[in-house]
Amino acid sequence: MAALVWFTVGVALWHFTVFVPDRFWGGIVGAFLGAVVGAMITGFIYYSASGDTLGNTDIVTLLAAIPGTLLGLAAVYAIGARNEARAA
């Protein structure tokens, strides 16, 4: 259940990347991957640190995925922007 929460958070926040200039590495699909992978990574880090079971979820489980999503998006954006700068 926790994995479902993290995944959904990643997908939900990804939808708002349409408001950011599309400089993501791999475009909107790259952003999708960045958001989802980031969400899952911080989710799992939280899960490992807290010692909670994957079946038990609460609002903190959800919040744990947000930094990962933002970091994932930022990382994909940074790679994309750097590539664009190089190409220019």
Q: Which is nearer to other proteins, 26 or 75 (CB)?
A: 26
Region from 19-27, 44-52, 71-79 binding other proteins, contact rule CB under 8 A = 19-27
8 binding other proteins? (CB under 8 A): yes
Interface of this chain with other proteins, residues 30 to 49, rule: CB under 8 A: 32
C-beta contacts of 12-17 below 8 A and 24+ residues apart: 13/39, 13/66, 13/69, 13/70, 13/73, 14/69, 14/73, 17/73
Query: Residue from 37, 54, 62, 71 that binds other proteins (CB under 8 A)?
Result: 62
Q: Which residues bind other proteins (CB under 8 A)?
A: 1, 4-5, 7-9, 11-16, 18-19, 22, 27-29, 32, 57-59, 61-62
